[in-house]
Chain A
Amino acid sequence: MRVMAQVAMVMNLDKCIGCHTCSVTCKQAWTNRTGMEYVWFNNVETRPGQGYPRRYEDQEKWQGGWVLNKRGALKLKNGGRFKKLAHIFSNPKLPEIKDYYEPWTYDYKNLTDAPLGDDYPVAEPRSLITGKPMKIEWSSNWDDNLAGAVEHGPQDPMVEKVREQAAEKVKFAFEQTFMFYLPRICEHCLNPACVASCPSGAMYKRNEDGIVLVDQDRCRGWRQCVTGCPYKKVYFNHSTGKAEKCTMCYPRVEVGLPTVCSETCVGRLRYLGVILYDADKVTEAASTKDDKALYEAQLGVFLDPDDPEVQRAAEAADIPYDWMEAARRSPVRALISKYKVALPLHPEYRTMPMVWYIPPLSPVVDALTETGHDGEDADNLFGAIDTLRIPLEYLAEIFTAGDIAPVRSSLNKLAAMRSHMRAINLGDVPDHTIADSVGMSAQEIEEMYRLLAIAKYEDRYVIPTAAVGDAKALEESAVPDTCSLDHEGGPGMGGDGPFGQDSGSGKKQLPLVSIENFHAARKRQTSDEEPADVREQQ
């Protein structure tokens, strides 16, 4: 057993309102640079829809992820090592910028500089790639809220798959349509195909927290990672000629703060926490023959931090105590392994993704209520799940390689939770058969309810800091070993430190963390009281 820790995420799709706040704040923080205009480390897709980049799930075209070879061993879908090197001079499967979208700005200057005339001056769109006037025809969320669904919806690769089996299940007629939002970031997979595709060895998975990163000094721009990633979450910076990707906001996670997308999520639907897994079992689990068994296989890789044997192995593997503690309290582990309501995104890509999703139930309740039934009655709900507006088959294509059982089980648990909690809210005695029917105890249901409905900041984000493990190193680094003035730019030049241009003047070498600030910030962010009350308490 080789115990490793992974910072993982779960998103509760029921709560996503598709506001794109996560995308926008992520873009502000990470990709508002030349060369990265078209890049969204975090994007929110309306499903059914083509996604970003267009039809990225069509692996017959884009060749991402892993497949099993004739001997049943894992092989990159885009070809083995020799094939990759033979294709190094051009990557035939690389998406072009136009497959994402051509980024643009507007010619705002014309609004003020246009000569006097009869017409209002307009700000025409200008391509950020060519600088020429362009016609805006696509973007990262062009089919947002099913815009143009009649035209674009059928092109969703997952819709195509479902229709092969049950043509009448997916409809785009206005009265019969359905949709939900799917926020996506890098999956920080346990068996990352991008890392395996990188010829230079520039991409790596961090030992401490499992975050997958690109070493910008080692990347040589061969672009194989872009193809390797089946989720198309590695991007090519066309200005620097290097690959870039979601960093799981590691500078924040290292000091115990949630990622920007989680922090700013309006619906508070994201959960962050540690999961322990057995690194020795990953390859075996990813090589599971049956696509539909991959979900269970991945669950089998995760380790229980309460198991004494795991604890001993973790100690041997130098996993700090606070990480073990975090693994025990991990909301992510609870949703994935304990309640089994969260499901992986496309396990059939065999990358063992680590950003999981709780499938959406809300449309069922609404649909039921509209038909005059009691939307929160257990019997009605259970019956309705199989005739969902969002067909189970479609959800299953996304989350469980087409196996309906885990999706139904997850939705049944959510439905049971609603009925159970409604009874409690109305002062009735909850019917224990409801909990029994989904294989949970009343207590478990109530705990799950707490986690899903009212979990506070510190319950949603249980992130051990890298700093505690490295407290000593941190103390030392707090005192810069060089004069803060003797760097590029010279005395008084100032510049962007970790705290932005205005924090301190010219102290670029400040370490990223200051322990007091961290705790103060955390208190401020997590307290439910008015700031005035906080002041009184102190």
Chain B
Amino acid sequence: MNTLLWGVLPYVAVALLIAGTFWRFKYDKFGWTTRSSQVYESKLLNIASPMFHYGLLFVLVGHLMGLFIPESWTDKVGMDEHLYHQMSLYGGTAAGVLAVLGIALLLYRRRTNTPVFKATTANDKVMYLVLLAAIVMGMWAKLTNSSPSHGYDYRLTIAPWARSLFTLQPDVDKMVGVPLTYQIHAVIGLLLFALIPFTRLVHMFSAPVQYLFRPYVVYRSRDETQLGSRKERPGWERTKS
């Protein structure tokens, strides 16, 4: 069981993430969008969406720090476990609260605003479930295993395991004895990775950083090879007339 969860599942999830993203890019560029519902409702979204997204970005930074900066490095710069814990607890909780509040507001909006609710697909519902579960479980794991002075030091167990995945020799044993809540959070997180390419979450990969560097006005030539109509593609529904 341990091998399956901590030795196999991560690779399956990442493989799905990579292959799925590639597949989606190749076959469904038209469906690759944020599918924003802002034209239906703007007021609540203007508060909730930045809250959630920025919260999540901070959470992401926290995860990267926690998992990929070894404890020995922080020790070297004079940051002991206690200090690190304080930072992780308050910083992480603040980011988490932001994200949870954001997604709670977004879900409330999605449920109560008729046009937004009508635009919600089954795919979206599954995605929201997993996303919400991952965030809530993460908060729960952190808060139930911490006190202001001392907390569970995942940097001795989960982090080395996560890093060992990259060496293709997963240190499965490190995950034995990790609190159950952390384990559940990790599994849901991996599930979320696998789901990304198949849901609207793909829009995270099109973060338009290149906008900062390109000239304002884009010129393009007509596609000489594409005269006349092209083949039908997914998402291009026929007009009903």
| Contact present for B220 and A206 (CB under 8 Å) | yes
**Neighbouring A residues of B211 by C-beta, 8 Å:** 81, 84-85, 198-201
Question: Assuming the A-B contacts A90-B46, A204-B219, are A509 and B228 also in contact, with contact meaning beta carbons closer than 8 angstroms in the complex?
Answer: yes
| Contact present for A200 and B206 (CB under 8 Å) | yes
| B222 at the A interface (CB under 8 A) | yes
| B218 at the A interface (CB under 8 A) | yes
Question: Assuming the A-B contacts A91-B38, A222-B34, A222-B208, are A207 and B220 also in contact, with contact meaning beta carbons closer than 8 angstroms in the complex?
Answer: yes
The chain B residue sitting closest to A28, CB to CB, is: B241
| B82 at the A interface (CB under 8 A) | no
| A70 at the B interface (CB under 8 A) | no
| A474 at the B interface (CB under 8 A) | yes
| Contact present for A241 and B216 (CB under 8 Å) | no
| A300 at the B interface (CB under 8 A) | no
| A96 at the B interface (CB under 8 A) | yes
Q: Mark A217-229, 1 if CB is under 8 A from B, else 0.
A: 1111111000000
Q: Mark B34-62, 1 if CB is under 8 A from A, else 0.
A: 11111111100110011011100000000
Looking at B63-71, B114-122, B188-196, the stretch in contact with chain A turns out to be: B114-122
Question: Assuming the A-B contacts A130-B118, A466-B222, A511-B228, are A85 and B212 also in contact, with contact meaning beta carbons closer than 8 angstroms in the complex?
Answer: yes
Q: How far is the CA of A520 from the CA of B77 in the complex (A)?
A: 81
Q: How far is the CA of A131 from the CA of B220 in the complex (A)?
A: 40
Q: How far is the CA of A477 from the CA of B209 in the complex (A)?
A: 38
Q: Mark A50-90, 1 if CB is under 8 A from B, else 0.
A: 00000000000000000000000000000001101101111
| A516 at the B interface (CB under 8 A) | no
Q: How far is the CA of A192 from the CA of B225 in the complex (A)?
A: 26
| Contact present for B29 and A221 (CB under 8 Å) | no
Within 8 A of B (CB), among A398-452: none
Q: How far is the CA of A27 from the CA of B119 in the complex (A)?
A: 23
**Neighbouring A residues of B30 by C-beta, 8 Å:** 216-217, 240, 242
Interface of B is mostly: loop
| A132 at the B interface (CB under 8 A) | yes
Question: Assuming the A-B contacts A88-B208, A207-B219, are A241 and B33 also in contact, with contact meaning beta carbons closer than 8 angstroms in the complex?
Answer: yes
**Neighbouring B residues of A238 by C-beta, 8 Å:** 37, 39-40, 119
| Contact present for B221 and A208 (CB under 8 Å) | yes
Measured CB to CB, the closest approach of chain A to B203, in angstroms, equals 6
Q: Mark A474-502, 1 if CB is under 8 A from B, else 0.
A: 10010000000001110000011110000
Question: Assuming the A-B contacts A129-B115, A221-B33, A487-B231, are A199 and B39 also in contact, with contact meaning beta carbons closer than 8 angstroms in the complex?
Answer: no
Within 8 A of B (CB), among A73-127: 81-82, 84-85, 87-92, 94-97
| Contact present for A220 and B49 (CB under 8 Å) | no
Interface of A is mostly: loop
Q: Mark A255-296, 1 if CB is under 8 A from B, else 0.
A: 000000000000000000000000000000000000000000
| Contact present for B29 and A241 (CB under 8 Å) | no
Measured CB to CB, the closest approach of chain B to A254, in angstroms, equals 8
| Contact present for A89 and B231 (CB under 8 Å) | no
A204 in complex: contacting residue of B49, B114, B210, B218, CB < 8 Å = B218
| A34 at the B interface (CB under 8 A) | yes
Q: How far is the CA of A417 from the CA of B211 in the complex (A)?
A: 50
**Neighbouring B residues of A81 by C-beta, 8 Å:** 211-212
| A463 at the B interface (CB under 8 A) | no
Q: How far is the CA of A183 from the CA of B225 in the complex (A)?
A: 35
Measured CB to CB, the closest approach of chain B to A537, in angstroms, equals 31
Binding site for A on B (CB under 8 A): 29-30, 32-42, 45-46, 49-50, 52-54, 114-115, 118-119, 203, 206, 208-212, 214, 216-222, 224-225, 227-229, 231-232, 235, 237-241
Given contacts A90-B38, A130-B118, 20 further A-B contacts (CB under 8 A): A33-B239, A81-B212, A82-B212, A85-B208, A97-B115, A130-B115, A131-B114, A203-B218, A204-B219, A206-B221, A207-B221, A215-B220, A217-B32, A220-B203, A236-B36, A466-B222, A473-B224, A496-B238, A508-B231, A510-B229
Selected A-B contacts with CB under 8 Å, 25 pairs? A32-B241, A94-B39, A96-B39, A97-B40, A131-B114, A195-B216, A195-B218, A196-B216, A196-B217, A203-B218, A204-B220, A205-B217, A206-B219, A206-B221, A207-B220, A208-B221, A216-B30, A222-B208, A236-B36, A240-B30, A242-B30, A473-B227, A474-B227, A487-B232, A510-B229
Q: Which 6 A-B pairs have the closest CB atoms?
A: A199-B208, A511-B228, A241-B35, A196-B216, A221-B33, A217-B29
